[in-house]
Structure 1
């Protein structure tokens, strides 16, 4: 993603040398670095605010490039429109052979940027993208390139920087300023897509838990991830300083874009077969037409692999390795905990110890397990022989649905006898739901717990509707039991409210994960070094869950997987 950002910004800034020829390439690079720094700094204000701030610029940009293209087309050589005849494609390859094939790697850069529209499919509806592409983007870009082709017919020596050289003198500075702003907007689209994709990877357990900030109350797909924003920004600036020019960056960008196109075609074919169940002939035709065209461009741009094209592959391999490492250890750790859950009978014996005290307040122990007592709990009791008066084993799970209604958010059940006042709670969130702040979360949780106590009492006694004198006594007994249960439930709810007033404490297991003795060298590297590095250098769980430090208690434990 950062290849797109820096290529767009650097190419836009390079145009300033048309009016300031004494400006060195190094100075252009530092100007680009300053713009990149500004771009990544404003992300914290939210993608929706950034988008609204710059949205009018995009309209002006399309008007400018369409107008300049039409001017060049009329002023220089309108006969370039004959290039729409497919015969010229055949003639071009016939004349140039291998060089024509190699040139396709540069031709494909004309359509780069369209992948940003697909990255934003989660932020806009399909009809909006169809209309904007058909009536605004495509006509404007087509006129721009036709105008440049017309200009080159008259000034072929300017092929190295056609766009800025073809701008009429009176329009240069307005176009340059708008180009810089449009480059920032194009980069914004890719950053928004990166944040959205990684937020989904978080819900699948494929990325370290980091803080995801939902920047829009109206559009749930607009998110901001501080740690990821910093990493992408740092990588963009480093690559800009290292590559200096757009040539190698353009090669990397081209490979990245065409690879995305090819992967999309393959995945779309699978969707058409398995999900949409389209006619097989239609699917085969789609795959052959688009697959062959993309293979032709991909094979061409791959010839530039050693000239900067390796960059996206390096980034992809590193990111994939980190995600695979995290997911591998995440699953292993989960099964380790699941195999060592504490039975309910042992929990009763643990609380019955003479040195274990029930202290005032509500304790929430976070765990990935949704059943059984996590092994960190006995460790907690051994180190601090006390358990809060109301104790909840808390699990937060992301479901593959957009939203979970608030009344269905929390699922409770008791752990052990009722007098223990210990509960299991699973909080369920859809992939567009946002975890509430600490106060809101605890308030919703306590209300859900009291509702569970009430419902448990209401349904604990059987309801009998049979008539007859023989059942009157049974009905009276049931009514008495229901009344008694209701009184007990009200007392328990008052008890919970009183303990909430005394304070809520969040407990989390600080697990050190290590490879078990006898593990292979690769496994020791993955678990002991790579995973540990990620866990220690990215945001901790309590920060991702917005848990205040003054209410947090961590318990250390070591897992050998």
Structure 2
């Protein structure tokens, strides 16, 4: 017991240490620009000690109430199986209150081990009338999705603005470049391009440097703050009283309210504590914040205020004037490195958000690359990376000043926080099952604080605040149009699905024949036969001996274990050799191209065949022994899809394809064998033998290549969304065959036009 407790604390401290480099890079660099942005407007007219005390009081209570009380104490407890962020909250709500708009959800999904939080029943709890209201009205669920997408869009906006404001500020030293302002922009752009160009290497390559840099930076600014308190104004602690906050607003009025747009920058990065929770634990993040982050940043803000209280002419200037001359350059170097670390954390969070949006059908298909073999979840998205780089450089060149960028940054951060507050209020009701009064208190208290800060930021829309609004509108439009197009396509498939009996009845008239091999029919439907299959057999009256209708879908959980991934059932009588397989992925799962998908699929079907006598549909969690044995086979004749082909041309094409595609040639090749088992019935053996022979004959992938058009009677807005928006996104994003890592030589695409 003592050893286990010691091991727990060792792991806790290790995770807390690592969290500095990933979670707190953004929050820890806020002192670079908080006071500069606060005193950039009309507040510079109030150059006296009382105003400085009021600003410090606001910073202290803001930093205490939002990052410490809201996030560290409350929000970190609302994780989704260890995952955080707006989509983690949304997925919790979708599971506990049936709020999801994903069309192909099943009751069987609720049997996943990670579907419900421990100790919370799904249907009981407070405010049942609110649950029924949201579940009944689809428009309300759509509004909820739009709120989540707004938060996600603002996170992407953070990915644009954080590198700009963090990397520009250390470079903008007027004492060094006052005569060469163009050098600031040029050097900033070079740093930004270099930062984004290195993303494909993966954060793990330099991760060992991140935590020490941030820790050195925090202790440096904490020490500088303590020095400034002692040297300039030891009585600065009096400013922590809320009295000075009230006095500040009485004196400055509207000017003080507008200045809140700069003060809110002190809590930017708080959302990262929750969004990056998946890499750590809530306990480790809390330990790091309470023991190091909070005291060091409070000391820095107090020291900066002590300096300004005796040097009021320095109010519009930034952090660097408060650094004692002997340590200026070392601190400057550490600040630059810390700013880069902070930028990296937000860029990585943007990749994660886009991946989650894509998994939930709210973002066009993009390439997702794993950058680490050991740290699951570290990903890189090339398209998003270069889009962020272009936008970030454009913002830097256009604004050239951290004050203007800070105005934009504040709106993005406060919007994300408001979205989190709203979702947390619903979590309190539906997931934690607390009285609705607690949810209202949480929503009103924190929501009112954040709404005041947001209203102040919105006053600065003409001075750069329009940037996140434009970015959010663009990304939200892309997300919702894509989601709307996918839903309309699914509804068309659902309304036009056909029965297998009607297709088989056409066999004699069409001359349908069964050919060797396994045919995988990709479909979004979890029941019924898709219309693309009837279209396929009408034009090509032949299909494989073993037919599998395959549905690859996302479920509102972060991860699905491999043992629970496959859900198998049968279509029609046994002699048809037709199966349905539903492959489930969580919103943070990444589909790799080396997962031996075909082998796992065959093993799942074989397991179903053996278990069929006991139940109609099983998942791969059931303990049914090993129905098939696998052995590695490296022979060239055992090619992936043309093993039994008599065509020399096809074999030649296969060989060339494998030589040109290293990822295919590296795949593990196996040969299945039916074990000798006296307890196995002859009918089961025959069906397993047919499955094995079909697998050895080859696997073909049949997928619909659909063109979606709006009906002529549709409204102008619908025609624009489908015919222009969705069509443009579909043509310019990655195809489903690429996303699913389907080998081109085995792919058959069936063209269809959908009128929705």
TM-score > 0.5, shorter chain as reference: yes
Q: 1:490 to 1:316 in 2, by over 3 A?
A: same
1:535 aligns with 2:730: yes
Query: Separation in 1 of the partners of 2:703 and 2:579?
Result: 16
Q: 1:429 to 1:86 in 2, by over 3 A?
A: closer
Gaps of 5+ in 1: 461-481
Which one of 507, 510, 518 corresponds to residue 713 of structure 2? 518
Partner residue in 2 for 1:30: 186
Q: 1:432 to 1:267 in 2, by over 3 A?
A: closer
The RMSD of aligned alpha carbons is 2.7
Partner residue in 1 for 2:295: 139
Partner residue in 1 for 2:276: 120
Which one of 491, 498, 509 corresponds to residue 693 of structure 2? 498
Does structure 1 retain, via aligned residues, the 8 Å contact 2:547–2:579? yes
Does structure 2 retain, via aligned residues, the 8 Å contact 1:403–1:429? yes
TM-score (normalizing by structure 1) = 0.88
1:326 aligns with 2:521: no
Q: How far did residue 283 of structure 1 move?
A: 4.7
Q: 1:274 to 1:500 in 2, by over 3 A?
A: closer
Query: Separation in 2 of the partners of 1:102 and 1:485?
Result: 78
Give the alignment of 1:325-404 within 5 angstroms: 325-353=481-509, 355-404=511-560
Does structure 2 retain, via aligned residues, the 8 Å contact 1:458–1:486? no
Does structure 1 retain, via aligned residues, the 8 Å contact 2:219–2:296? yes
Which one of 143, 159, 162 corresponds to residue 2 of structure 1? 159
Gaps of 5+ in 2: 1-157, 617-676
Does structure 2 retain, via aligned residues, the 8 Å contact 1:355–1:385? yes
What secondary structure does 2:714 align onto?
coil
Does structure 2 retain, via aligned residues, the 8 Å contact 1:6–1:240? no
Aligned residues: 539
Q: 1:166 to 1:421 in 2, by over 3 A?
A: same
Query: Separation in 2 of the partners of 1:393 and 1:31?
Result: 55
1:18 aligns with 2:175: yes
- The structure that has the greater radius of gyration is 1
Q: CA-to-partner distance for each residue in 1:156-179, whole Å, 9 max, x for gaps? A: 333333311222333233222222
Q: How far did residue 432 of structure 1 move?
A: 4.1
Higher RCO, Cα 8 Å, sep 6+ = 2
Query: Separation in 2 of the partners of 1:369 and 1:327?
Result: 16
Q: How far did residue 242 of structure 1 move?
A: 2.2
Does structure 2 retain, via aligned residues, the 8 Å contact 1:457–1:485? no
Which one of 285, 292, 314 corresponds to residue 129 of structure 1? 285
Which one of 13, 29, 46 corresponds to residue 202 of structure 2? 46
Q: CA-to-partner distance for each residue in 1:77-113, whole Å, 9 max, x for gaps? A: 3333332233322332232222222222222222222
1:163 aligns with 2:163: no
Does structure 1 retain, via aligned residues, the 8 Å contact 2:164–2:405? yes
Query: Separation in 2 of the partners of 1:341 and 1:64?
Result: 66
Q: 1:280 to 1:354 in 2, by over 3 A?
A: closer
Query: Separation in 2 of the partners of 1:411 and 1:181?
Result: 48
What secondary structure does 1:363 align onto?
strand
1:292 aligns with 2:433: no
Q: 1:258 to 1:354 in 2, by over 3 A?
A: closer
Does structure 2 retain, via aligned residues, the 8 Å contact 1:348–1:416? no
Q: How far did residue 347 of structure 1 move?
A: 2.0
Does structure 1 retain, via aligned residues, the 8 Å contact 2:359–2:588? no
Query: Separation in 1 of the partners of 2:580 and 2:374?
Result: 33
Q: CA-to-partner distance for each residue in 1:195-249, whole Å, 9 max, x for gaps? A: 3333332333222233334545665444433333333233222222222222221
Partner residue in 2 for 1:72: 228
Query: Separation in 1 of the partners of 2:695 and 2:358?
Result: 31
Q: How far did residue 439 of structure 1 move?
A: 5.6
Q: 1:415 to 1:267 in 2, by over 3 A?
A: closer
